[in-house]
Chain A
Amino acid sequence: MTILKDYTYKKIFQSEKQLPDNTLYEYNINVPHIFVEKSSCSIIAGIDKTIDQIKSYFSENNMEYELVEVGSKGLCEYDPVVSIQVPGRAIISLKNIYSNIVDSVLDSILNNILPERELIIGQYSHPELNSWSEITEISDIPFFKKQTRRLLKDIGNIDVNSIKSYLDYGGYKSFGKILTTHTHSEVCDIIEQSELRGRGGGGFYTGLKWKNTLNNNAEKKYFICNADESDPGSFAGRMLIEGNPHLLIEGILIGTYAINANEAIIYIRNTFDLAIKRLKNAIKQAEISGLAGEDIFGSGINIHLSVFASPGAYVCGEETALISSLEGHRGMPSPKPPYPSEYGLFGYPTVVNNVETLCNIPYIIKEGPEKFKELGSQNSYGTKLFSVSGKVDFTGMVEMEMGQTPNDILDITKLQNNPGDVKAIHIGGPSGGFIHPDDFNMNIDFDTFNNNNMWFGSGSFLVLDEENCIVDVTKYYIDFINNESCGKCIPCREGSQRLLEILTRITERPRTNKQHETLLRFKGVTQMEEVSKLMKETSLCGLGQNAPNSIISGLKYFRQEYEEHIYEKRCDAVICRNLKEYSINVDNCVGCSICSKRCPSDAVIGSQRTAHFIIQERCIKCGICESVCKFNAIIVR
């Protein structure tokens, strides 16, 4: 850890030194530098083993080296990603470096020989260094080229464990600027002029929120950073913290100064081990360097930072529930008004901001609100992070200008496959909805989405193709809501339970064909519409109000698919297991009776060398017969 006790006010805030963008570390080195992209996604891919192998390689060969931990650049598909710089040569970035190939890759690179082509992502050229021949620049790769990387600019370059590295890239200068030259209300003014809107989903104007709290003359105020990101499929905040913790801390410091508070709390999921570790480390460094804590650089301003590991509930992303959880109560939302800016944590005025929102703040202060507004569309300026997953070639995090379209994101992430294969995009996590291919040229910004009753929330972007069943995906999200609803208000608690039951009913083959059961299936859609409308109109908090979005949009664009499930008991994507029907093609069946022997429920009958038959009542849809049949005689419908 680099501790910067000797960094004085002048050195930090007035030094001119700043590394150019897209440069890893310093170029003038004497020993090989290994940059490992260690983040949650690469840990899953096995980066820890890779790091161990790298260490043992160098110790076995008795060589000096430096290992630098950096955050993920967003290309999660390529994890574990390792970039290597040999003295005198440009940095080369390699993908899928599992521990078993570490030795061979290092052998060749340290001898100035390129490893196999399929391992190479690209290189970062530098005028002073020898480039590798015939290797593309990282910035020229389409995945990076078409993005507008403002928040992610330095992630992947910055040593996450060192404040020095962040300072070298111009860090904490915005905080220094406001501390020396701006009053509290001036900072609020700047943010208000930038028209920055909350990235958590609601889209409330951040500057306005700050100003309301600043104007409240309470004896104490709190600033809370909401890092309790917990929707399935969304990881933007977590990656930001893991990749550049000091950026968030600088945003929080500026925000806390702007509302004239002394205490800032980062409310983060307890399961985000790596993010918590890096954040705590970064706070410690900031405090030792005098950037946080008592009397910051003699200005008389005290800002205490603390990390609160949240017990973990989806509803705690809602600010009133978050505050009640921080107070030690059960995390349940309370009615607004009073808003947290009037009556928040322990009754004091409180600002709650999302991680991504706060990471925008240093840029706005540094470059000015006008520069910030150069990107984006009307009423939605700046950039937005999207966590792309599903049926794409590059799962990962992308940063796009506001007002881009789903097509633009697909362009980046779905390179080889035909974009026409995409059946739908589910955007916004459990609170979001489906987008039909016809609307793929719709602008992703607050106004367009609000007008269409949609919500992009924290920016999860799930791409679905013909092998995905809309009803099943909806069922998954409603199940999530049903489990995560706090249980306080009736529309959300009971409504989501009934919605889940209706969805389960239509994704199952009815046990009997009695009229009662058939009628229930048929009534399903109208009842879902009724309950969805109720939840949207009367739920207490955003979770409940947005919970039925998947159903509403699903019924709007993919009603056909619902009807197939209900009337024809058919799932074209063959996902809904309980709707499947296995039967035997008499022409293909040779009567080997393997399926009959392997069937766990004795559903396949027939004598040797004659075609077999499946008794539907006994079949438990396990699919074993299909997998053991060598003659393609099992038909799945």
Chain B
Amino acid sequence: MEFNIKINNNNVKVTKGETILSVLKRIGIAIPTLCNMPELTPTGACRLCVVELENNHTLVTACSSPVSEGMKILTHSQKVISARKTIAELLLTNHPENCLYCDKSGNCELQQLAENLNIRERTFVGEKNMSKSDRSSPGIVRDMSKCILCGRCVRICEEMLQISAIDLVNRGKNSNIETVFQRGLFYSNCIHCGFCITACPTGAILEKTNIPQIVEKLNYSDKSINIIISGSTIASLATYFNVKRYEDARNYLVAALHDVGFKNVMTLSLGNDIFVHEISSIILERLNNHNEPLIISDCPSVKKYIKTELPEFQKYLPKVPTPQQILGKILKFDNDPQNDILVSVASCVAHKYEAIQSNNTQKGVPDIDYVITTKELLKLLKTHGIILPYSKKETPDKPSNSDSSGGVLLETKGGISEAIIRELYLKSGINNNTKKIPELKSDKQFIEYEFALGNKKYTIASINNVDTLRCKQHEILNNKYLFVEVRACNFGCIYGCGHIQCNDVENYKKLKKNILEFDEKTNSDTAGKNPFIKGYYKEKGIERLF
């Protein structure tokens, strides 16, 4: 049903059921919001989006109020503006004013709000929230003194993931966001996916940085420091610096990192290739009798989720580590582990959690010493004054100089499935013309795909977001699929919380395009064509490593 309402004395045609905020967005009137996130239910907590309704003594929130007939809305009356300003002033009174030292500075919604509302002096004076910060998680730091209690992290954890690792506790001025028994994220059911980092408008939830340790090692250690960069990191930096081609960005970055002081610069695609090689061998073995489900994931968050929430699924996870840890095990322990320091640049904070797990260490030496995110790498580059395009290009160091494009593709949505299917074709000796599978690239969170191998047809599933996994667990247990690919992030690793401009769907699309273009042009399209893998397994004389 359509009808007219008046917004700032102009007639606007609206549909029944729309919220005032969505109408305002459509017609291009900007009002400040803080607790609102488009994909979550509106709670009306921050009250910044208030608008004035005629004949209503209170102001109403645009995010939660549906339009009704005869509404007369004023979005920027003096009453509304002063109310918004006072709310923001109240928030700032209770906020530590150390923006200069805050990691979120420049990217902070609260800072932006204060600027937009022209708050340039302190009005109220009072006690500040002195809550402690939670540093228990290896990937996520929650500094609750910066928290404005908008509840976005709580809602994203509850509504999008159905995990609820954090929730509001206490009342009134003691309100706080805490984990179970207030023991810290590490001891909760948090899967370290980092969705809360992307949701937080201020610097209250941030990734834990490892840059100071790396800088110290670069300056004072005589060990050789090597670095692994993931494909999504390269795509992310390429998009950030506006470098058109993926391989250009990669080669600039390798040269730059050599100059920063890293001895060997390798790409994660090598690990991805080994991962695909191992998994496809397992699949080939069980091609004829897949009487048990097989869940494939290179995502540490999914592994933690299955461990805590769906323990009956644990036996369906193959014992192959994630690509990052495969590389760590191969690169570090084939040589003398004491001589190397291995740094990995990952797409999210879950890899930081993964690197400290006890099964990822050997004799107390971790496979990967430090994990940093793309955002942190960018900071390191900035301190060295590096911008892309860099003055020179270098190819990645051995052994990752011959990676397949399938390995890079792995980090996109549906990429694991596509890389494995290609490998299965190769291993079964079938020359397949349709090497690209666009069905797996759609933005849906659950994709079923059927493919033929020989004269038999197989169905696979690609799942993004752990909540979808929980919803589909019965289908998986019914053993309908040859294998199931699962990832925690909605659009695969290229949408991880560690990227520059994370949580921006437009940015994600650029990254995806960048990687797909690279895949389109490259000949070496699957793991089996990687000469290193062929040689490595032959040298060791084994079929499978794990």
Q: How far is the CA of A346 from the CA of B148 in the complex (A)?
A: 29
Within 8 A of A (CB), among B431-451: none
Closest chain A residue, CB of each to CB of B66: A337
29 sample A-B contacts, Cβ–Cβ < 8 Å, listed by A number: A335-B42, A335-B65, A483-B171, A484-B171, A484-B172, A485-B175, A487-B149, A487-B171, A487-B175, A489-B44, A489-B46, A489-B47, A490-B45, A490-B46, A490-B148, A491-B47, A491-B90, A493-B149, A494-B90, A494-B93, A497-B94, A497-B172, A497-B173, A501-B127, A531-B86, A531-B90, A538-B58, A538-B87, A540-B47
CB of A506 within 8 A of chain B? no
B125 to chain A minimum Cβ distance, whole angstroms, is: 6
Contact A538 B47 (CB under 8 A): yes
Contact A335 B172 (CB under 8 A): no
| Number of interface residues, chain B, beta carbon within 8 A | 39
Within 8 A of B (CB), among A114-162: none
Contact B168 A334 (CB under 8 A): no
CB of A323 within 8 A of chain B? no
Which of B59, B151, B171 sits near A313, CB closer than 8 Å?
Answer: B171
Contact B172 A494 (CB under 8 A): no
Proximity bits, A7-45, B CB within 8 Å = 1, else 0: 000000000000000000000000000000000000000
| A488-B151 contact, Cβ under 8 Å, with A498-B126, A527-B124 | yes
Interface residues of B (CB under 8 A from A): 42-48, 50, 57-59, 61, 64-66, 79, 83, 86-87, 90-91, 93-94, 123-127, 148-149, 151, 167-168, 170-175
Q: Which residues of B contact A536 (CB under 8 A)?
A: 58
Which of A493, A539, A540, A545 sits near B173, CB closer than 8 Å?
Answer: A493
Q: How far is the CA of A538 from the CA of B61 in the complex (A)?
A: 8
A222 to chain B minimum Cβ distance, whole angstroms, is: 21
A105 to chain B minimum Cβ distance, whole angstroms, is: 47
Besides A497-B126, A538-B59, 6 other A-B contacts (C-beta < 8 A): A481-B172, A483-B171, A487-B171, A491-B87, A527-B123, A540-B44
| A487-B168 contact, Cβ under 8 Å, with A497-B127, A498-B124, A530-B86 | yes
Q: Which residues of A contact B64 (CB under 8 A)?
A: 335
Contact B83 A335 (CB under 8 A): no
| A539-B175 contact, Cβ under 8 Å, with A498-B124, A531-B86 | no
Which of A482, A484, A494 sits near B94, CB closer than 8 Å?
Answer: A494
Contact B172 A537 (CB under 8 A): no
Closest chain B residue, CB of each to CB of A494: B90
| A501-B126 contact, Cβ under 8 Å, with A483-B171, A493-B172, A531-B90 | yes
Interface residues of A (CB under 8 A from B): 313, 315, 330, 332, 334-335, 337, 481-491, 493-498, 501, 520, 527, 530-531, 534, 536-540, 545
Which of A334, A486, A490, A497 sits near B171, CB closer than 8 Å?
Answer: A486
Q: How far is the CA of A277 from the CA of B172 in the complex (A)?
A: 31
Contact A487 B79 (CB under 8 A): no
Contact B175 A486 (CB under 8 A): yes
Q: How far is the CA of A362 from the CA of B291 in the complex (A)?
A: 66
Closest chain B residue, CB of each to CB of A331: B171
Q: Which residues of B contact A497 (CB under 8 A)?
A: 94, 126-127, 172-173
Q: Which residues of A contact B50 (CB under 8 A)?
A: 537-538
Contact A488 B90 (CB under 8 A): no
Q: Which residues of A contact B48 (CB under 8 A)?
A: 490
Closest chain A residue, CB of each to CB of B167: A330
B133 to chain A minimum Cβ distance, whole angstroms, is: 19
Q: How far is the CA of A51 from the CA of B149 in the complex (A)?
A: 52
Q: Most chain-A Cβ atoms within 10 A of its Cβ — which of B123, B125, B167, B171?
A: B171
Q: How far is the CA of A540 from the CA of B151 in the complex (A)?
A: 15
Which of A337, A501, A534 sits near B86, CB closer than 8 Å?
Answer: A534
Q: Which residues of A contact B90 (CB under 8 A)?
A: 490-491, 494-495, 498, 531, 534
Closest chain B residue, CB of each to CB of A481: B172
B162 to chain A minimum Cβ distance, whole angstroms, is: 14
Contact A534 B83 (CB under 8 A): yes
Q: Which residues of A contact B45 (CB under 8 A)?
A: 488-490, 540
Q: Which residues of A contact B83 (CB under 8 A)?
A: 534, 537-538
Closest chain A residue, CB of each to CB of B158: A329
Q: How far is the CA of A291 from the CA of B422 in the complex (A)?
A: 71
Q: How far is the CA of A538 from the CA of B168 in the complex (A)?
A: 22
Q: Most chain-B Cβ atoms within 10 A of its Cβ — which of A481, A491, A496, A537?
A: A537
| A334-B175 contact, Cβ under 8 Å, with A537-B58, A538-B83 | no
Q: How far is the CA of A484 from the CA of B171 in the complex (A)?
A: 6
Q: Which residues of A contact B44 (CB under 8 A)?
A: 334-335, 489, 540
Q: Most chain-A Cβ atoms within 10 A of its Cβ — which of B59, B83, B86, B127?
A: B86
Q: Which residues of A contact B151 (CB under 8 A)?
A: 488
Q: Most chain-B Cβ atoms within 10 A of its Cβ — which of A481, A490, A527?
A: A490
Q: How far is the CA of A489 from the CA of B34 in the complex (A)?
A: 11
Q: How far is the CA of A35 from the CA of B79 in the complex (A)?
A: 60
Which of A335, A493, A501, A545 sits near B175, CB closer than 8 Å?
Answer: A493
Q: Which residues of B contact A337 (CB under 8 A)?
A: 65-66
| A545-B171 contact, Cβ under 8 Å, with A489-B44, A490-B91, A491-B90 | no
Closest chain A residue, CB of each to CB of B85: A534
Q: Most chain-A Cβ atoms within 10 A of its Cβ — which of B94, B125, B149?
A: B125
Q: How far is the CA of A536 from the CA of B83 in the complex (A)?
A: 11
A449 to chain B minimum Cβ distance, whole angstroms, is: 14
A201 to chain B minimum Cβ distance, whole angstroms, is: 16
Q: How far is the CA of A485 from the CA of B124 in the complex (A)?
A: 20
Q: Which residues of B contact A531 (CB under 8 A)?
A: 86, 90
6 closest A-B pairs by beta carbon, nearest first, are A487-B175, A335-B64, A335-B44, A494-B90, A485-B172, A501-B126
| A487-B172 contact, Cβ under 8 Å, with A498-B93, A501-B127, A545-B58 | yes
A494 to chain B minimum Cβ distance, whole angstroms, is: 4
Q: Which residues of B contact A545 (CB under 8 A)?
A: 58
Q: Which residues of B contact A482 (CB under 8 A)?
A: 172-173
Which of B42, B149, B167, B172 sits near A496, CB closer than 8 Å?
Answer: B172
Q: How far is the CA of A545 from the CA of B47 in the complex (A)?
A: 13
Q: How far is the CA of A494 from the CA of B148 in the complex (A)?
A: 10
Closest chain B residue, CB of each to CB of A541: B44
Q: Which residues of B contact A493 (CB under 8 A)?
A: 149, 172-173, 175
| A494-B91 contact, Cβ under 8 Å, with A313-B171, A330-B167, A538-B83 | yes
Contact A330 B168 (CB under 8 A): yes
Contact A334 B149 (CB under 8 A): no
Q: Which residues of A contact B94 (CB under 8 A)?
A: 494, 497
Closest chain A residue, CB of each to CB of B154: A330
Q: How far is the CA of A315 from the CA of B90 in the complex (A)?
A: 21
Q: How far is the CA of A450 from the CA of B56 in the complex (A)?
A: 14
Contact A334 B43 (CB under 8 A): yes
Q: Which residues of A contact B59 (CB under 8 A)?
A: 537-538
Q: Which residues of B contact A537 (CB under 8 A)?
A: 50, 57-59, 79, 83
Which of A483, A498, A534 sits near B172, CB closer than 8 Å?
Answer: A483
B34 to chain A minimum Cβ distance, whole angstroms, is: 9
Closest chain A residue, CB of each to CB of B47: A538
B508 to chain A minimum Cβ distance, whole angstroms, is: 31
A503 to chain B minimum Cβ distance, whole angstroms, is: 12
Closest chain B residue, CB of each to CB of A530: B86
Q: Which residues of A contact B91 (CB under 8 A)?
A: 490, 494
Q: How far is the CA of A483 from the CA of B50 in the complex (A)?
A: 25
Q: How far is the CA of A537 from the CA of B79 in the complex (A)?
A: 10
Q: How far is the CA of A536 from the CA of B175 in the complex (A)?
A: 21
A482 to chain B minimum Cβ distance, whole angstroms, is: 5
Q: Which residues of B contact A501 (CB under 8 A)?
A: 126-127
Q: How far is the CA of A337 from the CA of B46 in the complex (A)?
A: 17
A100 to chain B minimum Cβ distance, whole angstroms, is: 43
Q: Which residues of A contact B47 (CB under 8 A)?
A: 489-491, 538-540
Q: How far is the CA of A536 from the CA of B79 in the complex (A)?
A: 13
B325 to chain A minimum Cβ distance, whole angstroms, is: 39
Q: Which residues of A contact B170 (CB under 8 A)?
A: 487
Closest chain B residue, CB of each to CB of A486: B171
Closest chain A residue, CB of each to CB of B64: A335
Closest chain B residue, CB of each to CB of A313: B171
Contact A490 B87 (CB under 8 A): yes
